[in-house]
Amino acid sequence: MLNLFNKPYPFNDNLKHNSKIIFFISVGALLFLLLLQPFKINEMPNPEKYYLIIGFGVITFVALSINLLFIPSLFPKTFSSSKWNIKKEIFWNLWILFTILTGYFFYCKTLADFIFDFDMVIKLILTAIIPITGLIIINQNRMLRSHLKVADEINKKLKDNKTRQEEIIYFNSDYQKDSLAIKVGLLLFIRSANNYIEVFWKESDSIKNQMVRTSMAYAEELLKEHKFIVKCHRSYIVNINYIDRFEGNSQGYKLYFENIDFPIPVSKNFAGELQELI
């Protein structure tokens, strides 16, 4: 049972969402009192009856605004979602209910025709417990559905990314014997070499390379759907997943790949894009 109360709970610190909650609860409480007139409100004379109902509505609105908007903004660490749980949520709702009832009590002191006694307090608490319990259960289920949805989306993206890494790409050469087929996830980089491109890729623990008679424009078009492969220089296309380090000096920026004994230049035009991707 104790484990249930210690389960994480989504404390909602979204001001826009909380503003809607405050509005609907306040209007709901006002309509509930106005239409049903419980707790012997219907026995009060007309002017005082409506003063009481409107006053309760205003008190509900002010108490909720202070507790859901003002206090969490003052103490953001205390109300951090990462530290919130069902136990804290229950105590927090009880505190909110206490502040509303306290407001009702002092307001009733100004109305001689309405007695706010212990019996009245019990009735109000019992009336409030049902929607509070319902809201806690609904929010708990909402958090569970939200987390399951996010996990499902991440798993799908991981699966899609893995599938794309395993995809075979075919570099068709003007000379058939020079054509090359490799997994896109193993591609390190491509560099231009006059009428050829030189493709470097990882194979087990070694680095392989092969000249293919085709253009850089063809290679760019072939790889444009793979966001982890970018053109960093007019003569180089690189797989950012294999970049070992990035250096800059007075001559510009350079990339280094593990087990490659030469640096790869980065054009100033591509430096910003590459920084964002990495």
CATH architecture, domain defined by 168-277: Beta Barrel (2.40)
Q: Is 210 strand, coil or helix?
A: strand
Answer yes or no: pTM beyond 0.85: no
Domain ranges of the chain: 2-161, 168-277
- In angstroms, how far apart are the furthest CA atoms of the chain? 101
According to the model, what pLDDT value does residue 212 have? 93
**β-strands 187-193, 196-203 pairing:** antiparallel
What pLDDT, on a 0 to 100 scale, did the predictor assign at position 159? 64
Contact 166, 185 (CB under 8 A): yes
Terminal Cα distance for the chain, rounded: 46
What is the residue-level pLDDT of the chain in tens, covering all 278 positions?
556 677 777 677 777 878 888 888 888 888 888 888 887 777 777 787 888 888 888 998 999 899 888 988 888 888 877 778 878 888 888 888 888 888 888 888 777 566 677 777 777 777 777 666 666 666 667 666 766 676 677 667 656 655 567 788 899 988 877 889 999 889 999 999 888 999 999 988 899 999 999 999 999 999 988 888 888 888 999 998 888 888 776 567 888 998 899 999 888 777 777 767 66
What pLDDT does residue 114 have?
64
Q: Is the dihedral of CA 115, 117, 120, 124 positive or negative?
A: positive
- With both helix axes pointing from N to C terminus, report the angle between 15-36 and 46-65 in degrees, rounded to the nearest 10: 160
